[in-house]
Amino acid sequence: MRLIPSAILATGLAATAIHAAEAKPHLREHAEINRGLTIIAISDMIRKKCDGIEPRLFRAYGFMRELKQIANDAGYSDDEIEAYVTDKAEKTRVEDAARAWLSGQGVALDEEQGYCRVGRAEIERKSQVGVLLRAR
């Protein structure tokens, strides 16, 4: 008779292990969230480096709320999201991705001119980066 409780316990432990293995991945692995955070970082870098471009704050805020909703819909709590976006290592990783994208667009990271050129092109294209910015 002792085998039955042991079997039930073993089954429960196995189910718990399987559930843990199926747990949601870290937010850094969510492609849409990371793409969105990289877009925000690119826009922020452009507006900081180019005096002729400013942010569209309401649009940026709306875009951030959309990303948060996507994360919530994927099962992430507000605390998990906050911890992720305030983590210094994750912020550095996203900023590095933004710099890589800008470099890929021909921007010399120490020169304002390239940021302005790319920023204006993105605004004109009405890309996601561009809709977060406005030319002065």
**CB neighbour list of residue 5: distance below 8 Å, 6 or more residues apart:** none
- The pLDDT value given to residue 2: 54
Average pLDDT, the chain: 88
- Mean pLDDT value of segment 106-124: 96
Q: How confident is the model at residue 15 (pLDDT cuts 50, 70, 90)?
A: very low
Q: How confident is the model at residue 126 (pLDDT cuts 50, 70, 90)?
A: very high
Phi, psi dihedral angles at 88 (to 5 degrees): -60, -40
Dump pLDDT digits (tens) for 63-79: 999 999 999 999 999 99
